[in-house]
Structure 1
Amino acid sequence: MKKYISLFVLLLISSAGLYAQSIYDIRNAIDFFESNKMQRGDFRKTLSESEIEGSPYYIDEFTKGTIFTSQKIQYNDVPLRYNIYNDEMEFQTPDEQILAIAAPEIVEKAVVGEDTFSNIPYELGNKVKRAYFILLTEGKLSLYARPQVMYQKPKEAAAYKEPEPAKFIKRPDMYYLRLNQQAAVKIESKKDLQNFFTDHQKQIEDFIKENKIKPGKEDNMMELVEYYNSL
């Protein structure tokens, strides 16, 4: 049975008296992260980016969200924001400390506003790693987006050029496909699509050609995934 965490202490008892569901204070969520700090040593304060132009965050402001852990525990109403550059989900404590958990395997997913950040395995070269991805559509075949931020070092003054401060520069999202529970695969080209699909190949190839599917366009990728899941 899942535990539900929120800002209010409330006991809900059905009129039939079938069950009771406890809802704890947000401090329990902080205790959870503190316990992981003690066990793993992965917990740290985030660094200040005040001297860098741009932003490393998906959305700068904290938004109340829900964390689902790999232990099937749910923490509600936690102020969250996603640091793209560090690939970390940050949260704000009641005394306004900004903290981040650097062991994403602890978190199964985080729902922040209308976005679901899933912590899933993905292929990186010959290795499999884990990271946060934004879930776009879910099924036998699922589509994910991975936001991108590039860090540009400061540039010193040169002939006819003014000095430039360090910057965070947003880049276009990368798209990943995940079949069942396998590691997600980055799709950058039509060749990537051809190599990804090992079944329904002729139908998929025809669909891509007829609908002029482009891997870098979210709406095109959504169409392709929905078509595959209908087969």
Structure 2
Amino acid sequence: MKKYISLFVILLFSSAGLYAQSIYDLRNAIDFYEMNKISKGEYRNSISERDIEGSPYLNDEFTPGTIYTYQKIQYNDIPLRYNIFNDEMEFQTPDEQILAIAAPEIVEKAVVGENTFSNIPYELGNKVKRAYFILLFEGKLSLYARPEVIYKKPKEAAAYAEPEPAKFIKRPDIYYLRLNQQTAVRIESKKDLENFFTNHQSQMESFIKKNKIKPSKEDKMIELVEYYNSL
């Protein structure tokens, strides 16, 4: 169980003039904690991590990071970690409480160590949702990685099988392409690539074939995005 808080108060700082700014209003960690003080916590049911093998986190340890909001506020030196399973950015307070940002829609990006997490819209079937993605390459066409962790339920002992504890299992990253400010599109096959590129289609198809681009290979996907942005 984790205590969740809302960052809705930050919205009070937004205004037409603030949105027009090209730079961020710099704030420190103390300001961030003060903005998120609450008198009563909110709780949500979730899977307890106790006695579960593996980890739901990209990195178990908290790393000093920076949060950028769409209201052009920048909070520095926040201990952050990304919970892959819950798709949540967690932070640790000075009194070692572990909290999660409950209004990620106001977060433009979070820089944690060497990773930049962008909170962007993406296609899921016929719906559009938002989630955190790791930015791999930014340009007219951008490339993102979506880490994935699945939860495997525990198994009781059977006649010829030992019991198995519950587990968090890390899956290969899934790659997404985003053209300009449109929704990000999941790319898992060559067919997905062919369907994605409606501009420069013949050039892209030729490049994909010649360079043996595979959607599961990060380095190849970066090559592809760099080429498209050069056209």
The interval holding the TM-score normalised by the smaller chain is: 0.7 to 0.9
Offset at residue 50 of structure 1 (A):
1.9
Runs of 4+ in 1 over 3 A off after TM superposition: 41-48
Aligned pairs for 1:86-125 (under 5 A) are 86-125=86-125
- The number of equivalent residue pairs is 209
Aligned pairs for 1:204-223 (under 5 A) are 204-223=204-223
1:4 maps onto 2:26 in alignment = yes
1:29 maps onto 2:56 in alignment = no
CA distance in 2, matches of 1:213, 1:203: 13
CA distance in 1, matches of 2:82, 2:72: 21
Q: Which has the higher contact order (CA 8 A, sep 6+)?
A: 2
SS of the residue corresponding to residue 223 of structure 1 reads: helix
CA distance in 1, matches of 2:42, 2:194: 39
Equivalence for 1:22: none
Offset at residue 150 of structure 1 (A):
0.5
Tell me the alpha carbon deviations over residues 125-180 of structure 1, each in whole angstroms, 9 at most, x when there is no partner. Answer: 00000000000000000000000000000101011111111000000000000000
Equivalence for 2:174: 174
Equivalence for 1:140: 140
What amino acid is aligned across from residue 27 of structure 2 in structure 1?
Answer: I
Change (3 A) 1:43 1:2: farther
Equivalence for 1:55: 55
Q: Could you list the runs of 5+ residues in structure 2 that have no partner in the other structure?
A: 1-22
Change (3 A) 1:64 1:125: same
Equivalence for 1:9: none
CA distance in 2, matches of 1:98, 1:43: 12
Change (3 A) 1:42 1:215: farther
SS of the residue corresponding to residue 221 of structure 2 reads: helix
Tell me the alpha carbon deviations over residues 165-213 of structure 1, each in whole angstroms, 9 at most, x when there is no partner. Answer: 1000000000000000000000000000000011100000000000000
CA distance in 1, matches of 2:43, 2:101: 5
Offset at residue 59 of structure 1 (A):
0.3
CA distance in 1, matches of 2:45, 2:90: 9
| TM-score, normalised via structure 2 length | 0.86
Conserved? CA contact 1:105–1:130, under 8 Å: yes
SS of the residue corresponding to residue 117 of structure 1 reads: strand
SS of the residue corresponding to residue 219 of structure 1 reads: helix
CA-based RMSD = 2.0
Offset at residue 70 of structure 1 (A):
1.3
Offset at residue 47 of structure 1 (A):
6.6
SS of the residue corresponding to residue 36 of structure 2 reads: helix
Change (3 A) 1:46 1:100: farther
CA distance in 1, matches of 2:70, 2:170: 30
Offset at residue 222 of structure 1 (A):
0.3
Q: Among the aligned pairs, what percent are the same residue?
A: 76
Offset at residue 4 of structure 1 (A):
1.5
Change (3 A) 1:222 1:68: same
What amino acid is aligned across from residue 29 of structure 1 in structure 2?
Answer: F
Offset at residue 34 of structure 1 (A):
3.9
What amino acid is aligned across from residue 99 of structure 2 in structure 1?
Answer: L
Offset at residue 114 of structure 1 (A):
0.5
